[in-house]
């Protein structure tokens, strides 16, 4: 049977170079956005983002940890990129001019987005969804890309807020399930549950209690696991130690509070779960390269 014109298969892979938003640790990526002519991937890869893909024409074939699906043009496909994934086939459309837009949301920032708990569960469960066709169009994506390319912190924050609003709307009106989550969400984790389900329970507990003291024993208890096993399991799935994950999530919350509230620096630290102001300053500078006050002053100047 003849192949459809413009269709690529994985037998002739084209390399896809890494971009700066792929962090070396693979636990948490950096925020990023790009437009490009879609290419095949010669092998599966994974990284620390929730990825949003949009195709202007044709279709793309993917594999997610061995599960295959096809995504057509004009729909935003969303998945947790920590699941090994690969583009295995591309149809560039009748005019051979397909363009792909990818948005890379850092996993920690995605998990911090409010009012999208159901999407959190689907993504962390390994599901793949497509938003409704009217969720976003090329014009909005081009505008977002322009905001991203400016490097302006306030424009980029507005961009992220708009993406969050799009996801929040999707939770309300629904989406199309391309691949079901293979980890069912539950509060009482059964003993025979897949390992990732334990991690989902721990992540949820951390997010719901960021401002409180978080001890590993208490987090492990949520999943009914021995603390040593919980530590090992969390690190193997999330690719980051649990204590570092907690600090990252607290820093994301602190940055949001600096931009969105008039709280004092000390209160930002307190509401983000830091019990030491000096520790907060040290962790914040290490993560963002500036102090909390410097970041806030930069926003005011802009």
pLDDT recorded at residue 9: 43
pTM above 0.85, yes or no: no
Per the listing, tokens 């399991």 go with 233
Q: How far apart are CA 112 and CA 249, in angstroms?
A: 7
Q: How do the pLDDT tens digits run along the chain, 302 residues long?
A: 444 445 544 333 333 334 566 665 556 678 999 999 999 998 888 788 999 999 999 999 999 877 899 999 999 999 988 777 899 999 999 989 899 999 999 887 888 888 898 898 788 777 899 999 999 999 999 999 999 999 888 899 999 999 999 999 999 999 999 998 764 444 444 455 567 778 878 887 888 888 898 988 989 998 889 999 999 988 887 778 898 889 888 988 888 788 778 899 999 999 999 989 999 999 999 888 889 988 887 765 44
pLDDT recorded at residue 300: 54
pLDDT recorded at residue 302: 44
pLDDT recorded at residue 61: 96
Q: How far apart are CA 239 and CA 234, in angstroms?
A: 8
pLDDT recorded at residue 117: 82
Q: How far apart are CA 189 and CA 179, in angstroms?
A: 22
CA atoms within 13 A on the CB side of 142: 5
- Structural domains of the chain, with CATH: 7-179 (2.60.120), 195-301 (1.10.10.60)
pLDDT recorded at residue 74: 96
Q: How far apart are CA 24 and CA 5, in angstroms?
A: 38
pLDDT recorded at residue 186: 41
Within the chain, residue ranges assigned H as helices are 107-112, 117-124, 138-150, 153-173, 195-208, 216-223, 227-238, 242-260, 265-271, 277-288, 292-301
Q: Which two tokens stand for residue 64?
A: 């997610």
């Amino acid at each position: 049977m003849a192949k459809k014109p413009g269709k690529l298969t994985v037998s002739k892979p084209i390399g896809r170079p890494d971009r700066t938003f792929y962090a070396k640790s693979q636990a948490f990526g950096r925020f990023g956005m790009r437009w490009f002519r879609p290419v095949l991937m010669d092998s599966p890869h994974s990284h620390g983002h929730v990825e949003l893909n949009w195709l202007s024409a044709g279709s793309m074939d993917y594999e997610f940890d061995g599960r295959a699906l096809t995504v057509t043009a004009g729909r935003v496909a969303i998945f947790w990129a920590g699941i090994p994934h690969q583009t295995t086939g591309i149809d560039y459309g009748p005019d051979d001019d397909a363009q792909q837009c990818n948005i890379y949301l850092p996993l920690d920032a995605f998990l911090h987005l409010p009012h999208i708990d159901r999407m959190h569960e689907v993504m962390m469960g390994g599901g793949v969804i497509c938003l409704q066709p009217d969720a976003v169009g090329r014009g909005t994506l081009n505008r977002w890309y322009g905001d991203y390319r400016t490097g302006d912190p306030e424009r980029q924050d507005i961009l992220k807020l708009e993406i969050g609003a799009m996801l929040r709307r999707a939770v309300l009106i629904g989406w199309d399930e391309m691949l079901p989550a293979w980890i069912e969400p539950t509060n009482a984790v059964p003993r025979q549950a897949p390992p990732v389900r334990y991690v989902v329970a721990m992540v949820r507990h951390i997010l719901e209690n960021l401002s409180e003291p978080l001890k590993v024993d208490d987090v492990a208890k949520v999943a009914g696991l021995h603390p040593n096993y919980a530590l090992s399991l969390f690190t193997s799935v999330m690719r980051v130690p649990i204590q570092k994950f907690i600090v990252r999530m607290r820093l994301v919350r602190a940055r949001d509070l600096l931009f969105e509230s008039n709280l004092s620096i000390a209160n930002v630290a307190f509401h983000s779960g830091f019990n030491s102001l000096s520790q907060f300053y040290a962790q914040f500078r290490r993560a963002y390269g500036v102090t909390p006050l410097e970041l806030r002053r930069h926003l005011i100047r802009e």
